[in-house]
Structure 1
Amino acid sequence: MSFEIRLVKGFETLPLRQKILKPFASEAECAYPDDNYPTTFHFALFLDGDIKGVSTFIQQEHPDFPARTPYRLRGMAVDKDLQGQGLGKKLLAKGIEHLTTLECDFIWFNAREVAFPFYESLGFTLYGPMFDLPQIGPHKVMYKRFDPR
């Protein structure tokens, strides 16, 4: 399977965000307020020219964790037909590789309960109580600290 992971504009992530993460919403409703900030970046995984995976990284603090250069992962999605094949891991690794060039020392996100094992296998830690996002389901905060290069 030949694929490419590269930086894209926020609007390019919307169709897959909508399809996988919020099928009940319009594409416009899947946009984040921070999508176009200069410190935000988006990666897409392309397979045969089509976007099959997306991730967004937003420079944002978590109130419970002091960090010098924290980033929040949002909108992480891989097309259902390709899940479980290691593409999400590669997509996340590409984002983390980029974060290290920005001296990021902390990544956090709200993880869906079904994704806990995926993120735990990559060294992320669960934190705090479970909470429910309407129409989406149970979540917990997950995080990972880094030593910036």
Structure 2
Amino acid sequence: MEIIKEITFQETFSVRHKVLRKGKPIETCFFDGDNLEQTKHFGYFNNGKIVGVVSIYKNKNSIFKFPNQYQIRGMAILEEFQEKGYGKLLIKHCEDYLKNNDTNLIWFNARETAVTFYEKLGYTKNGFPFTITDVGIHFLMFKNL
């Protein structure tokens, strides 16, 4: 059985650590804003096991002139479950949740390797690539809701 449901930020760590912070201390899996009330964390469960996570943060990027913006962070699917459509379902879940909460725009910093995935979901690159220390090359991406 497969299901997406809201989880705690601590529950994201098992997937974030294996996918996004491989070889780094578990403490690096805590992101600023994880514990704020308006931040939401969602998990994709396959047969009761959490195999994918995504978090959304109420965070305004001054580049965009929309009043109600959310940022996606910590999008990760365990390697053995990638390319099965789970990431797409998690992003769609976030979009539906945010549309129902009057959000105008979703934005995030996408790893270079994930840009094509997000473009297929209707997201657009904005500006030039930039490097996040110890993580790699990223692009600012967004989508109007």
Q: Shorter-chain-normalised TM-score: which range?
A: over 0.9
Per-residue CA deviations over 1:79-123 (Å, capped at 9, x if unaligned) read 111111111000111111111111011000000011011000000
**Structure 1 range deviating more: 39-48 or 18-27:** 18-27
Q: How does 1:1-149 map to 2 (within 5 A)?
A: 2-146=1-145
Local SS of the residue matching 2:71:
strand
TM-score with structure 2 setting the length: 0.96
Question: Residue 49 of structure 1: CA displacement?
Answer: 1.2
Paired residue secondary structure (1:63): coil
TM-score, normalising length: structure 1? 0.94
Which consecutive unaligned segments of at least 5 residues does structure 2 have?
A: none
SS at match of 2:22: coil
SS in 1 for 2:60: coil
**Aligned mates of 1:4, 1:125 — CA distance in 2:** 28
Post-superposition CA distance 1:20-70 (Å, at most 9, x none): 001132222210120111110000001111110000000000111011210
**Cα distance between partner residues in 1 of 2:140 and 2:23:** 23
Secondary structure of the residue aligned to 1:22 is coil
Residue type of the partner of 1:136? V
Equivalents in 1 of 2:141, 2:102: separation in Å?
Answer: 20
**Structure 1 stretches of at least 4 aligned residues deviating more than 2 Å after TM superposition:** none
Runs of 5+ in structure 1 lacking a partner?
Answer: none
Deviation at 1:143, TM superposition (A): 0.3
Q: Which residue type is aligned with residue 29 of structure 2?
A: C
Task: Letter of the 2:10 partner, please give it.
Answer: F
Identity %: 34
- The secondary structure found in structure 2 opposite 1:108 is strand
